[in-house]
Structure formats: C-alpha cells, structure tokens
Amino acid sequence: MRYLDLGTVDAQSSQAVYHALAELWHPDDETTLVTVRPDRPYVCVGYHQIASREIDRQYCADRHIPVGRRMIGGGAVWLDQDQVFWHLVMPHQQISIDTLYRRYLAAPVNAYRQMGIFAEHRPVNDIVVGARKIGGTGASTIGDADVLVGSLMMDFDPQAMVRALNVPSEKFRDKVISSLSDYITTVKRELGKNAPSAAAATRILVEAFAAVLQEEVRPDGLTDQEHERIQWYADRLFDPLFVYRDEGYLVPGLKIREGVRVLEGLYKAAGGLIRIVWRDVNGIIEDVTVGGDFFIAPPDGLERLQAALIGLRVGSDQCEEVVRKVWQTVEAPGVTAGDIIAALAKGEALNSDGGVQKS
C-alpha cells in the first residue's frame, strides 16, 4: 500500500489530491492511502448539490472561506484543521458502493476502537458511536479508480459549520446547531484528556487500513505530475463557475411570464435529500437540475436523467417511465425511481404564486 502523508496543505489542495490521483490512475498501480489536513477552514458541497441552496455564499465570501465542489456525492460539509482526512484510491472493483463501504470502512471503525471509542459502521456510509455520527465518508469511481474518502473527527465546531450554511432564519440556525451537538461526536468528546494527538490517531488509522487491505505500508511522496494535476483540480474545484454551475434561473415559485414558472420539489429519501428545480413552460419541463446529498454511480447518472426529462410533462406516464428507465442504469443506495417521481410531484404541487416547500 503506497502511503502519502501530506501533512498540512492549502485548503484547495487538500480536496484536490484524490481527484488528481484517481485521474492519473493506471490499472496496475498499487492501492494508495493519503492523509492530509487543510491549513484553514473551507466548505465543500457534494457533486450533485445545488450550491446556492446549501451554503451562505455571501457569508463565506465576506470571511474569505473557500467554497468548493467535489466530484463525489453527499452533502455540504465544513472541513478544518481539527479533522484528519483520509483518501483511499484503488483499482476499480466490480462491486456495489454498499459493498465498498462494508469492506473498507472496517479500517476507520477499527482505528476508533483502538483509540478506545466503540465505533460502528451504520449502512450506508455512516460511522457512529451510539446514536452519534463521528466523521463522514463518501465513495465514487473516478476514471479507472475507486475512491473512498473520510475523516477522523478529532474535534468539531458546529457553530462554525452552521453559520456557513444557507438556512431560513436565525431561529432555525440555532436549532441546527443544537441538533448537530446531539448528532455528532468527536475523539475529544469521547475521550477527553485521554484523546490521542492527531499524529498518533493518524498512525493508528494507517495501520488499520494496512490490516484490512493485508498490505505492507510503503511511505512515498507525490510525483511532479501529481503535483501539477493537484494544482489543476484545486483551481477547478474551487472555481465559482463550477461550484455555482447552472444556477442562474433557480428561484422556486417564480413566475417568469404567462405559462412559465420555476418549480422546486424536495423529497427526503432513505439515502438522502432529493432536490429538483425546473423551468416549467405550459406544463412541460424546459430545463431541469436534479441534485441532492445522496450518492450515485456512475456520477453522470443525474445528468443523463436531466437530459431525458426535458420536453416531458411532470406526472405523465412517459415521465415516470423515463425516470424508471434511467434509474435502472445507476446505483443510488437508499434512493429509488419512486423517490425521484415523488420529488417531481411535490414541485408540481407548488402554487404558481410561490410557496417554499419543506422537506
């Protein structure tokens, strides 16, 4: 197992590294584990999310908090120096995302247990201590590589994260902060003064991955080509044109002219929140963005669904048939074709004078 201990790097590069390694991957390359920490806090939205719905863009800009979009699904996350991020890049395996999680999340689970924290894997991709989540994970296929990413949650500031999120009111924000405190735990919270240092926790994690993979650890450094590609991804993933892509018309309930409205449907499936925003012209979908904080493979599945929906009438048999047909070609744990249809139906029920739906 090739091991890259990158230490502390700039925020953009800490997110870009696994994208670059996966893109440069060759089928005969050895499995690579990366550990890294960002030099400052930043926000990252999932590949399929509508960024302006998820984060407070002005707040982040005013405080110079970088905002990026990763090529892996999931929700908006706050990343900072109190977390140790790990990236496992390996040859593409013909297994389901669920199996990928079950097989390899045993490593961070075992690492937490060796620290004295009774962590467990709760499908699909959560690592929990009792009722509380500790760290986040995600997976995708990029090029010829499977990528599994996650973090060791040494400590966490829920107020910092929630302030960067786009929420409807300060009262709601306070409720989210309270919920996060109840829902998330950390190494420091669990172990107090007995908590290991970040360096010690990282060593435990690397050994746990080596045991699960049954591989020797080979410390290594980045090549010049990898450095160059990391910089390319750092620029692209944090480019506002990529982060806030295709969001110019996304004002839910807006009546643009007679017969033209922008509608939004939200539906909470078992695998995550589905958000669909589309421009409706006399009952026909003229343009559409399908997003959410769930995971889907291959990553272009939602783009193909969007293209297939254009020109159809929401609620029609043809529309439902198209959704089911596309969904047969993707893997989205916890999200069914019926869930997508339900999100569309909720958007269709939105009044023309523009109420805002609740999930």
Q: What is the pLDDT of residues 273-286, one digit of tens each?
A: 999 989 888 889 99
Q: Which residues contact 63 (CB under 8 A, 6 or more apart)?
A: none
Q: What is the pLDDT of residue 251?
A: 52
Q: What is the pLDDT of residues 309-353, one digit of tens each?
A: 999 999 999 999 999 999 999 999 999 999 999 999 998 876 444
Q: What is the pLDDT of residue 263?
A: 87
Q: What is the pLDDT of residue 255?
A: 52
Across residues 58-85, what is the average pLDDT? 95
Q: What residue spans of 87-196 are helical by DSSP H? A: 97-104, 106-115, 158-163, 170-183, 187-191
The share of the chain scoring above pLDDT 70, in percent, equals 93
Q: What is the pLDDT of residue 259?
A: 73
Tokens matching residue 329: 């070609």
Residue 254 clears pLDDT 80, i.e. is over it: no
Q: What is the pLDDT of residue 179?
A: 83
Across residues 25-49, what is the average pLDDT? 95
Burial label for 251, CB within 10 Å (0-12, 13-18, 19+), is middle
Q: What is the pLDDT of residue 53?
A: 87
Q: What residue spans of the chain are helical by DSSP H? A: 11-23, 51-54, 57-62, 97-104, 106-115, 158-163, 170-183, 187-191, 198-213, 224-237, 240-243, 301-309, 317-327, 337-348
Residue with tokens 């500031």: 157
| CA atoms in the 13 A half-sphere facing the CB of 141 | 19
Q: What is the pLDDT of residue 354?
A: 44
Task: Give CA–CA dist 302/342, Å, rounded.
Answer: 16
Q: What is the pLDDT of residue 356?
A: 39
Tell me the range of 172-181, 225-234, 262-271 where mean pLDDT is highest: 225-234
**Hey, what amino acid is at 181?**
S
Q: What is the pLDDT of residues 110-121, one digit of tens each?
A: 999 999 999 999
Task: Give CA–CA dist 268/136, Å, rounded.
Answer: 19
Please give the domain boundaries of the chain with CATH numbers for all domains: 2-243 (3.30.930.10), 255-348 (3.30.390.50)
Confidence of residue 258 (pLDDT cuts 50, 70, 90): low
Task: Give CA–CA dist 245/51, Å, rounded.
Answer: 8
| Backbone torsions φ then ψ of 324, nearest 5 degrees | -65, -35
Across residues 91-119, what is the average pLDDT? 94
Strands 2-9 and 218-219, sheet pairing: parallel
Across residues 163-187, what is the average pLDDT? 84
